[in-house]
Amino acid sequence: MTINVEPYRIKAVEPMRVTTRAERQAAMAEAGFNTFLLRSEDVFIDLLTDSGTSAMSDSQWAALMRGDEAYAGSRSFYALEQAVQDIYGFPYMVPTHQGRGAEHLISQILITPGAGQYTPGNMYFTTTRAHQELAGATFVDIVGDKAHDPTAVDAFKGDIDLGKLDALVREVGAERIAYVNVAVTVNLAGGQPVSMANLRAVRDYCRERGIIVWSDATRCVENAYFIQQREAGYADTPVAEILREMMSYFDGCTMSGKKDNLVNIGGFLAMRDPDLLQKARSLVVLYEGMPSYGGMAGRDMEAMSVGIREMVDDAYIAHRIRQVEYLGTLIDEAGVPIVKPIGGHGVFLDARAFLPHLAQDVFPAQALAAELYLDSGVRSMERGIVSAGRDPATGDHRRPKLELVRLTVPRRVYTDRHMEVVAESVVRLFERRGEIRGLDMVYEPATLRFFTARFAPLR
């Protein structure tokens, strides 16, 4: 079928309010020109994130009613554990309140304070790096160079550069590598996938040197779909089988259930080593809850157990990726600069090329995200100098090569007509891009500033 038809029927709807420009101007001023601080009721089409914004299925809503509210030994825990074992292939699992809870646990377990350890990975993610640094490690980016070039076209821009990894290991020694963290897909590169061949190569390299390989598996199903579509030998392989093979190359993973797992809250830490399991169970009691619920209610675990099985349906994931591609194609064909190839969970506007008259230190991606909301009520997210934060050694801004605005598409929520509205607004802004001004940061928190920083327009 040439039309990207939704493989589901819509049984319930949520009204959306169209605001006036005057209302949006007031809302944006109140939010300090930070889209994170907008009230959701003031947003028309919300593309801030795909995290916790998915629409659940009828089976998931039914599963909520099966939720076991037991404090210990919850039946719902065992349903979730079985789903993780069946679909991901890891024998052990500890639930967490969401993905960053799992990031915190594994950072505390594998990183020794004061040991001068390193956590190389294929581009940083904000909360992951924050947990690693707070635990005492130093993040090193070992993604291929093409990932930092929005115009470079490559099927697997998320691949680890084995040369960069080997150079780091030779410099500091394998014993000082706390673990290698592989994100599938790579969020801040534009949702770019990692090839199966690269995963095997990383696993083989690390196994020879006794280095643990972990995965940020948050969007691994999208990665599996790209392998099916782009990598030789997988065209006729179901996404579920590809996912199992991908996960077989890791010692464990962190997972935000709010993305692939199609739920609004929850996550887990999965592993193969029973000793790591015992350490995780000890820490989860301190930070999350009992090992049999980890910060989630039984109903949340039940819904996640169903979502894990639904996420590997080939028809569903094909529609999901094609909808993102449709949005990106509409924008690209109008000449608007975006990250290519179009990724799995969103379209990333290249704010540096979109607004070449703005220096990076006046936050062009933040300014562009604010302007998009003012134009149409579409909420998006900055992924550039604000998200990168400050270098803890120098106190200066980190200045990433990529200065992006992320249009993140929630799963099973919007139709292609909504995507057309978004594209029309982006193109309209591009046509008057010379009028867009930069911003001044007037409030900055100590960590993860992009969530709560406040800005004011430059005059």
Asked if the domains at 21-50+313-457 and 58-310 fall in one CATH topology, the answer is no
pLDDT tens for 122-173 read: 998 999 999 999 999 999 999 999 999 999 999 999 999 999 999 999 999 9
pLDDT tens for 309-363 read: 999 999 999 999 999 999 999 999 999 999 999 999 999 999 999 999 999 999 9
pLDDT tens for 367-379 read: 999 999 999 999 9
Percent of the chain past pLDDT 90, that is, above it, reads 98
350's CB contacts (< 8 A; 6+ apart) are 150, 151, 337, 338, 339, 402, 403, 404
DSSP 157-192: TT-B-HHHHHHHHHHH-GGGB--EEEESSBGGGTSB
- Reply yes or no on whether the pLDDT at 204 is more than 70: yes
Tell me the two tokens of residue 454: 């406040």
Q: What would the mean pLDDT of 82-95 be, rounded to a whole number?
A: 98
Look at residue 168 in the predicted model and tell me its pLDDT. Answer: 98
pLDDT tens for 290-322 read: 999 999 999 999 999 999 999 999 999 999 999
The highest-level CATH class for domain 21-50+313-457 is: alpha beta
Domains of the chain by residue range: 21-50+313-457, 58-310
- The amino acid present at 218, given as its one-letter code, is T
Structural domain 58-310, CATH architecture = 3-Layer(aba) Sandwich (3.40)
Look at residue 1 in the predicted model and tell me its pLDDT. Answer: 62
Q: What would the mean pLDDT of 222-228 be, rounded to a whole number?
A: 98
- Reply yes or no on whether the pLDDT at 453 is more than 70: yes
Look at residue 375 in the predicted model and tell me its pLDDT. Answer: 98
Residue 2: band (very low, low, confident or very high) from pLDDT cuts 50, 70, 90: confident
Q: Which residues are catalytic?
A: 71, 125-126, 216, 259, 383, 450
Residue 459: band (very low, low, confident or very high) from pLDDT cuts 50, 70, 90: confident
d(Cα 406, Cα 374) in Å, to the nearest integer? 16
Give one word for 51, left, alpha or beta, with left for phi > 0 and alpha for psi -120 to 50.
Answer: beta
Look at residue 114 in the predicted model and tell me its pLDDT. Answer: 96
Q: What share of the chain is helix, strand, coil (3-state, %, to 5)?
A: 45, 15, 40
pLDDT tens for 236-290 read: 999 999 999 999 999 999 999 999 999 999 999 999 999 999 999 999 999 999 9
Tell me the two tokens of residue 174: 């394998």
Q: Which residue has the tokens 């959306």?
A: 16
Look at residue 69 in the predicted model and tell me its pLDDT. Answer: 86
DSSP 85-146: HHHT--SEEEEESSHHHHHHHHHHHH--TTS--EEEESS--HHHHHHHHHTT-EEEE-B-GG
- The amino acid present at 379, given as its one-letter code, is R
* Burial class for 237, CB neighbours closer than 10 Å (0-12, 13-18, 19+): middle
